[in-house]
A and B are shown apart, each in its own frame.
Chain A
């Protein structure tokens, strides 16, 4: 039972039990792995990754049954993305967004069934309608290419449930 001895079956049994303990008391949320797999299923390597910075905390924000508008702000060093998500029908939501710094950036809303694209107006505002409930990820291609020396002109958000 000394510290120098190699790990044996009794140690492994204890380690397995430790893992079971944590998985039982604090399990990985259902759907998280699928959200992550969807989010990294992207072509644009070297994109900037925006973080969720603020999110309205309405009841059921993580579920597809949310019926109120929620707002989420994503942030990274080159861009801030604010979106509000409003359910329109049982199947779809409308995304009203605002990008800062403003510019006519290309906006792509990725869903498992495909993508919807638009271009922000010069004030950085955009609207995407008929976005299906479920997973959503945004990919934004900035309209300036050469500024911000070396910074990749593509920003991706994490995937969220809308």
Chain B
């Protein structure tokens, strides 16, 4: 098995450079970051239990806060951690400040017990519905911290240990083993599941 080379710095450096260009007035650089990182922020905010309508506001608010802070950013390499932290804080603020008084739908909880509301038509077309249900069931058996870690890695495309550490407030020194344990656990679960193995051939180390 050929190992994927360690991509720690490449992506973070590219994003940091894009952020510097945005700070210097390059609109396209900021637009590209919005395209690239909005799916992550959407996931982070929704996982805080925020309904879809309010989540749109929280995600946009997060980007506006980045925009208004562009001149004061000291460490562009910390972009993802900064965005995730602000998005979470703003999501939590919805509950505490009572700015919105409507109860937030507990839809993620029901998804956990009932399985995801997968669009049957779409998934039938690509013949993976069963595998996604399997995956959902397995992912939700991981502890909360592992689930969050797995999601952030998945949405930042490639793992960046420093980024993930700052987003999760995990000491930098421990992120390697934690990442390793969570991924290994997910992999162990997937490997043990025949329905998943029909789709992906998992190798032994």
Enumerate chain A interface residues (CB-CB to B < 8 A): 1-26, 28-29, 32-33, 35-37, 39-42, 45-49, 51-54, 57, 62, 75, 156, 158-159
Contacts and interface: CB of A to CB of B under 8 A. Distances in A.
Given A21-B132, A24-B118, A29-B52, A7 B159 contact: yes
A13 to B, nearest CB: 5
Contacts of B202: 10
Contact of A48 (B68, B101, B187): B68
Contact of B187 (A11, A19, A42): A11
Contacts of A19: 39, 154-155
Contacts of A1: 184, 187-188, 191, 204-205
Kindly state the interface size class of chain B when it binds its partner: 35 or more
A45 B70 CA distance: 7
B46 A26 contact: yes
Interface of A is mostly: mixed
Given A14-B200, A29-B52, A32-B42, 17 more contacts: A1-B184, A4-B177, A10-B202, A14-B190, A17-B135, A17-B200, A18-B135, A19-B154, A24-B122, A25-B116, A25-B132, A40-B63, A40-B64, A41-B27, A45-B67, A51-B99, A52-B61
Interface of B: 1-4, 6, 27, 30-31, 34-35, 38-39, 42-43, 46, 52-53, 56-57, 59-61, 63-68, 70-71, 90, 99-102, 111, 116-119, 122-123, 131-132, 135-136, 139, 150-151, 153-155, 159, 177, 180-181, 183-184, 186-188, 190-191, 200, 202-205
